[in-house]
Amino acid sequence: MARADFISLMPCSNASRSVFGFVIVAFVSTMAMLSPARAGEGWTPLHLESFISAIGPGDVEGPPMDVSWCDLDGSAVNSGFCPTGRAWRLDPGDRIVARLTPNPGCGRVRVWIYAASLDAAGAWMRLGPAGPCGPDDGATVGVPAVNGTCLDLMVEHEVPPNGSLEWMIVNPGPSVLLIDELFVEGEDCADPEVHSCCETGGPGCEDDQLRDCVCAADPYCCEVAWDAVCVQAVGETGCGDCGMDCPAGLATDFGTVYIPGGACAALPDFFVSCEGTGPYLSISGGCAGTDDAALRFGGGFPWSTIETRCLDFSHASSARLRCVVSVSPGVPGPVFEAMVGQAPPIQLGRVPVSASGACREVQIDLAPLVGVNDVRIRIGSGSSVADGTRLDDLVIELDPPHGPCESGGVVVDDPAIGQCTCGVDEYCCSVAWDELCITIATLICEADCPSIPTCGTEGSCEVAHDGPGCADVECCSRVCAADPYCCVVAWDHPCVVISESTCGGPNPDLNGDGVVDGGDLGLLLAGWGSRDPALDLDGDGNVGGGDLGLLLAAWG
């Protein structure tokens, strides 16, 4: 930019800046298919429970089958006999009971289970008509004690008129019993109503090509149910488009009343997934009050977690998350992560342990997500302590207004300074408000910023160079106060001259009247050819043309 253009504050663009993209590498995991030995001809897979969760299996709503656990003794352990990962341990006296309600039309149901024990000779399992919690009669199979050998056991029963059965396994002892891979299938089950691939329902969907594409990435969608995760995967995997527009931002105060059933059920427009225990809505404790609900995290591990619907950051230049959080003293605070497609979570921040349980404001910079579409924010409790954390007033905002002395998006909270700054460099209002914009706002547009960002950069104040500013912060600030060009465009020769006169070098104001003019020129000419150090501005040992050039450069 020419100095004349700069001085007249003609609008300019800063085309030399680089905008760095954000690269996401997606990883697609696969899940083992059900064993062919367990999938009989004419039988339809209805449910698979692998006891992966440390807090035990959860209830499932079909199709193709509803599963609810009315009794769940025991605990999750690493399998010691059957090589299937985690397993469920039943100590002597323990039992578990599940109510199974398959799709209408299933004639019979059978349940397969892996079981192993050193000496649980009295253990047995039963499948029969549903009772209060445990079938009183039905098909019963004993669990032999075979010194830890992993057994593949099956029990079968017809579906009663009310459509519900109960499966139960009991370990009277004397040894521990391990079970794993509970697999339920039904015979002559009516096919569930065919549904769109953009709707939840039974396994699979009406578009065969799209269904196969999604299920290659997530077999659950074709084996168990086509749930909300499968619908979202249609777009995430590139298999199709369900037209799920992702909003640019999100804000909720979680309402004012308690709503049972968990936060995801209460606020489906904001949240698509809840894991672990809860989270729930609460009107007591921490950030919640009797007339203001807040999010309450449950205890246990995996952590109580909630995940937002997809959000669109593709057109943002900055973004942030704000909320208020209360955490019990000594308990780690919640963890904030971003989920982008099938890539691993991106940790954005967490609330540290505090000695106070007071409700505190939290703000997290979402800069790593700028330019990315289809982002979900996941918030985890951060600890296994039940009811240890409450969260309220969640706001995810794009390009939030900020002060003219702060880097950020293109919107500043002082319109006059913003308009003035963008008149010099439109980049500040079209791409981002960076340090150069702060410099312009400070030196030209009367923003009261504590420092000039381009001062303290590389480059000697005594040598001309291409970039703005110089290394000596104090000298740089003085020079740029006199000539903003030096901190906005380039540190050229006039900037060097000013630095020499204002930063401790020779002063062209020879008569000390505060201005370089004819009086100073007269003194210089009177000493022409001498070695007077007061007149030797360039320090070459002689008063001559070099000194005259410096004086004229500082004229006025």
Q: Are residues 56 and 181 in the same domain?
A: yes
Q: In the prediction, which pLDDT does 234 show?
A: 84
* Confidence check: pLDDT of 325 > 80: yes
Q: Are residues 265 and 165 in the same domain?
A: no
Q: In the prediction, which pLDDT does 374 show?
A: 83
* pLDDT confidence band for 190 (50 / 70 / 90): low
Task: Convert 460-477 into a string of H (helix), E (strand) and C (coil).
Answer: CCCCCECCCCCCCHHHHH
Q: Are residues 379 and 425 in the same domain?
A: no
Q: Are residues 72 and 181 in the same domain?
A: yes
Q: In the prediction, which pLDDT does 25 show?
A: 23
Q: In the prediction, which pLDDT does 451 show?
A: 92
Distances from the Cα of 165 to the Cα of 69, 183, 224, 359, angstroms:
12, 15, 19, 47
Q: In the prediction, which pLDDT does 213 show?
A: 93
* Confidence check: pLDDT of 183 > 60: yes
Taking the C-alpha atoms of residue 520 and residue 506, their distance in angstroms, rounded to an integer, is: 13
* pLDDT confidence band for 387 (50 / 70 / 90): confident
Query: Is 49 within 8 Å of 60 (Cβ atoms)?
Result: no
* CATH number of residue 292's parent domain: 2.60.120.260
* pLDDT confidence band for 513 (50 / 70 / 90): confident
Q: Are residues 490 and 533 in the same domain?
A: no
Domain that holds residue 527: 518-554
231 found inside a domain: no
226-250 core/surface letters (b: 16 or more CB in 10 A; e: else): bbebbbbbbbbbebbebeeebebbb
Q: In the prediction, which pLDDT does 5 show?
A: 53
Q: Are residues 267 and 389 in the same domain?
A: yes
63 found inside a domain: yes
Among 139, 442, 390, 124, CA closest to 254: 390
- Could you give the percent of the chain with pLDDT greater than 90? 36
Q: Residue ranges of the alpha helices (H) in 28-102?
A: none
Residues 120-147 have pLDDT tens digits of 678 999 999 998 898 888 999 998 877 7
Q: In the prediction, which pLDDT does 11 show?
A: 37
172 found inside a domain: yes
Q: In the prediction, which pLDDT does 27 show?
A: 22
The mean pLDDT value for 496-517 works out to: 81
Q: Are residues 492 and 547 in the same domain?
A: no
* Confidence check: pLDDT of 436 > 80: yes
Q: Are residues 60 and 175 in the same domain?
A: yes
* Confidence check: pLDDT of 469 > 90: yes
* Confidence check: pLDDT of 395 > 70: yes
65 found inside a domain: yes
Q: In the prediction, which pLDDT does 65 show?
A: 85
Average pLDDT of the chain, as a whole number: 83
Whole-prediction pTM value?
A: 0.45
What one-character DSSP code corresponds to residue 50? -
Query: Is 71 within 8 Å of 51 (Cβ atoms)?
Result: no
* Confidence check: pLDDT of 285 > 80: no
The mean pLDDT value for 240-261 works out to: 81
What one-character DSSP code corresponds to residue 196? -
230 found inside a domain: no
25 found inside a domain: no
Q: Are strands 177-187 and 139-142 parallel, antiparallel or unpaired?
A: unpaired
Tokens 């939030």, located at residue: 400
The mean pLDDT value for 357-378 works out to: 90
Q: In the prediction, which pLDDT does 443 show?
A: 93
Q: Are residues 526 and 482 in the same domain?
A: no
Lowest mean pLDDT among 136-140, 226-230, 546-550: 226-230
Among 376, 271, 368, 365, CA closest to 322: 365
The mean pLDDT value for 165-190 works out to: 88
For helices 545-553 and 493-502, what crossing angle results, to 10°?
A: 90
* Confidence check: pLDDT of 486 > 90: yes
- Could you give the percent of the chain with pLDDT greater than 70? 89
The mean pLDDT value for 216-242 works out to: 80
Instruction: Name 98's Cβ contacts closer than 8 Å, sequence gap at least 6.
Output: 57, 67, 68, 69, 70, 166, 167, 168, 182
* pLDDT confidence band for 191 (50 / 70 / 90): low
Residue with the larger pLDDT of the pair 420 and 356: 420
Q: In the prediction, which pLDDT does 214 show?
A: 92
Q: What is the DSSP string of 302-319?
A: SPPEEEEPPB--TT-S-E
The mean pLDDT value for 99-116 works out to: 88
Q: Are residues 489 and 541 in the same domain?
A: no
Q: In the prediction, which pLDDT does 169 show?
A: 95
For residue 325, what are its two tokens?
Answer: 């959080």
Q: In the prediction, which pLDDT does 441 show?
A: 94
* pLDDT confidence band for 484 (50 / 70 / 90): very high
549 found inside a domain: yes
Lowest mean pLDDT among 42-46, 83-87, 239-243, 256-260: 83-87
208 found inside a domain: no
* Confidence check: pLDDT of 19 > 50: no
Q: Determine the 3-state secondary structure of 58 from DSSP.
A: coil
The residue from 334, 368, 398 where one domain ends is 398
* Confidence check: pLDDT of 208 > 50: yes
Tally of domains within the chain:
4
Q: Are residues 334 and 449 in the same domain?
A: no
Q: Determine the 3-state secondary structure of 425 from DSSP.
A: strand
Q: Are residues 362 and 459 in the same domain?
A: no
The mean pLDDT value for 451-463 works out to: 90
Taking the C-alpha atoms of residue 397 and residue 452, their distance in angstroms, rounded to an integer, is: 28
* Confidence check: pLDDT of 18 > 60: no
